[in-house]
């Protein structure tokens, strides 16, 4: 892909965190950011994060996020104290649903697990949650913030439909899936923060779609190793690329063009979300901290000329905790 094409589509690359060199945080901020908890396996306890009065169910959600959704875990740490445990519970609920597809060998078993979560949500709203750690914490969050049941059910329904091992027919189908899962999760997160704002909802919709597209791209090497390809068929057909090309880890220009088109769509959603920046309440910004990780991936994949299998894309960004802390301090998303 020619450099001129990249610049015209995305604008010039900005190294590092946007605006990092223009404004220095207060003294001591750098050291504080590096004291954020480390990933699972580091040997550090999460008790310090939860507080001395943390319950066993609360710690269960923390550990689940540390192991399965580390980026979401870091983002949740930067929530206001009164909202943090609810944010952990909501993301843990999302992790429980997300890992169903890869943890079952038969669709029937996956459907049974989804049915369990449907009944669990019904029971939560009847003040009778099952004795399951995530369910108990989610019940507390629902009671505390009066969360909308419709969004929880929409996430489950969409995850259930996605149990089939089928590629998305087009980019719109992928975006609809992202809207009903990732964006719904953000709508609930806004409710946890006490935000009811149309502009914040619009931003959440676009960020959720960007998250869905980026997640699809990031998971492509993993899915390929299991002989699966979920990238939108319409974009693949447009560039004359078959699923076998991705299974063979082809680096042909046509394969990179498919990735470029998808990454560009995700970038466009981020751009739209940020166009509401001045109208979105500042209290809503913690819900959108995941844009830091999204932008980081999109920059990296651009730098390797959209080679989705490049080893650098599989490496964890060790500067992410610092980047998130700075973005939170600067009140941006």
Per-residue pLDDT tens over the stretch 207-251: 999 999 999 999 999 999 999 999 999 999 999 999 999 999 999
The one-character DSSP state at 123 is H
**Tens digit of pLDDT for each residue in 152-208?**
999 999 999 999 889 999 999 999 999 999 999 999 999 999 999 999 999 999 999
Asked whether residue 317 carries a pLDDT value surpassing 90, the answer given is yes
| Model pLDDT, residue 29 | 39
**Over the stretch 138-160, which tens digit does the pLDDT of each residue have?**
999 999 999 999 999 999 999 99
| The pLDDT value given to residue 164 | 87
Instruction: Give the mean pLDDT of the chain.
Output: 87
Best CATH choice for the domain 165-310 from the list 2.40.30.10, 3.40.190.10, 1.20.1330.10, 1.10.600.10: 1.10.600.10
Residues contacting 127, CB < 8 A, separation 6+: 139, 143
What residue segments make up the domains of the chain, in order of their start? 56-164, 165-310
Read off the pTM: 0.84
- Helices in the chain by DSSP H: which ranges? 3-10, 29-33, 47-50, 56-68, 70-77, 81-98, 100-103, 107-124, 133-145, 149-161, 171-178, 184-192, 198-218, 220-225, 233-238, 243-247, 253-274, 291-303, 320-329
Residue 331 to residue 288: CA distance in whole angstroms:
10
């Amino acid at each position: 892909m020619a450099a001129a094409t990249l610049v015209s589509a995305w604008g010039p690359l900005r190294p590092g965190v946007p605006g990092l060199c223009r404004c220095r945080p207060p003294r001591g901020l750098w050291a504080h950011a590096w004291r954020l908890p480390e990933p699972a396996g580091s040997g550090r306890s999460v008790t310090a994060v939860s507080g001395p009065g943390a319950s066993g169910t609360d710690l269960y959600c923390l550990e689940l996020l540390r192991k399965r959704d580390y980026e979401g875990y870091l983002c949740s740490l930067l929530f206001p104290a009164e909202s943090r445990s609810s944010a952990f519970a909501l993301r843990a609920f999302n992790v429980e649903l997300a890992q169903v597809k890869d943890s079952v060998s038969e669709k029937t078993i996956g459907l049974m697990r989804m049915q369990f979560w449907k009944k669990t949500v019904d029971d939560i709203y009847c003040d009778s949650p099952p004795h399951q750690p995530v369910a108990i914490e989610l019940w507390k969050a629902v009671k505390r913030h009066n969360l909308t049941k419709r969004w929880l059910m929409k996430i489950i329904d969409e995850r259930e439909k996605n149990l089939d091992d089928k590629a998305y027919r087009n980019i719109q189908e992928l975006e609809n899936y992202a809207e009903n899962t990732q964006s719904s999760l953000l709508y609930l997160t806004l409710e946890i923060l006490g935000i009811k704002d149309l502009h914040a909802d619009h931003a959440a919709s676009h960020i959720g779609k960007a998250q869905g597209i980026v997640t699809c791209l990031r998971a492509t090497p993993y899915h390929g190793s299991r002989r699966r390809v979920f990238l939108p068929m319409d974009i693949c057909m447009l560039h004359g690329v078959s699923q076998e090309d991705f299974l063979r880890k082809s680096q042909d220009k046509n394969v990179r063009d498919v990735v470029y088109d998808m990454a560009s769509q995700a970038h466009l959603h981020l751009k739209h979300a940020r166009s509401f920046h001045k109208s979105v309440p500042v209290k809503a910004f913690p819900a959108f901290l995941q844009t830091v990780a999204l932008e980081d991936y999109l920059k990296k994949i651009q730098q390797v000329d959209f080679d989705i299998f490049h080893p650098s894309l599989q490496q964890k960004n060790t500067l992410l905790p610092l980047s998130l802390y700075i973005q939170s301090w600067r009140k941006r998303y």
